[in-house]
């Protein structure tokens, strides 16, 4: 298994985080917001790269978990006036709990391949 593309993507994410810290120090709010969105999308792309590229599975549920985290962050910022940097751990925690609940309640691991793909499709359809 070749890991060169994944190492490049991880290096890109590290560079984006470093650029974000520099923009925060320079107080460039618009650029910081745009770069933060790029980092969010990079995290999603890394997940899809591992799932679809290395594991060879089609997973539409991946987007559903991304949407859960985004929804939690948006609700916290809009309704409770939580700063956006503080919503990231909360969104990650809620999404992690959703993943655990989904893993515990789905069919047993004994039925592999097609059952995993079908349960991912079911999650995407039911959450969308």
**Along the chain (128 residues), what's the average pLDDT of each consecutive run of 10 residues?**
66 81 82 79 76 69 83 93 89 89 67 59 58
Instruction: Give yes or no: residues 45 and 69 share one domain.
Output: no
pLDDT digits (tens, 9 = 90+) for 32-64: 788 778 777 877 777 777 777 766 666 667 778
Instruction: Give yes or no: residues 77 and 122 share one domain.
Output: yes
Instruction: Give yes or no: residues 62 and 52 share one domain.
Output: no
Instruction: Give yes or no: residues 48 and 66 share one domain.
Output: no
Q: Whole domain around residue 112: which residue ranges?
A: 58-128
CA distance linking residue 74 with residue 60, whole number of Å: 22
Instruction: Give yes or no: residues 67 and 105 share one domain.
Output: yes
Instruction: Give yes or no: residues 69 and 128 share one domain.
Output: yes
Q: Which residue has the tokens 């929804």?
A: 71
Measured on CA atoms in the order 123, 125, 126, 128, is the torsion positive or negative?
positive
Instruction: Give yes or no: residues 77 and 96 share one domain.
Output: yes
Q: Which residue has the tokens 């993943």?
A: 99
Instruction: Give yes or no: residues 13 and 39 share one domain.
Output: yes
Instruction: Give yes or no: residues 3 and 18 share one domain.
Output: yes
Instruction: Give yes or no: residues 63 and 52 share one domain.
Output: no
Q: Provide the number of structural domains found in the chain.
A: 2
Q: Which pLDDT score, from 0 to 100, does residue 104 have?
A: 77
DSSP code string of 54-114:
IS----SHHHHHHHHHHHHHHHHHHHS---HHHHHHHHHHHHHHHHHHHHHHS--TTS-HH
Instruction: Give yes or no: residues 118 and 66 share one domain.
Output: yes
Instruction: Give yes or no: residues 25 and 15 share one domain.
Output: yes
């Amino acid at each position: 298994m070749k890991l060169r593309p994944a190492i490049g993507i991880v290096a890109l994410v590290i560079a984006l985080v470093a650029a974000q810290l520099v923009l925060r120090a320079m107080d460039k709010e618009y650029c910081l917001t745009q770069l933060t969105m790029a980092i969010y999308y990079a995290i999603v792309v890394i997940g899809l790269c591992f799932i679809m590229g290395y594991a060879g599975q089609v997973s539409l549920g991946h987007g559903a978990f991304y949407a859960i985290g985004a929804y939690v962050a948006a609700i916290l910022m809009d309704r409770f006036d939580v700063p956006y940097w503080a919503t990231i751990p909360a969104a990650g925690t809620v999404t992690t709990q959703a993943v655990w609940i989904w893993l515990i309640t789905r069919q047993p691991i004994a039925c592999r391949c097609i059952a995993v793909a079908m349960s991912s499709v079911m999650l995407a359809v039911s959450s969308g």
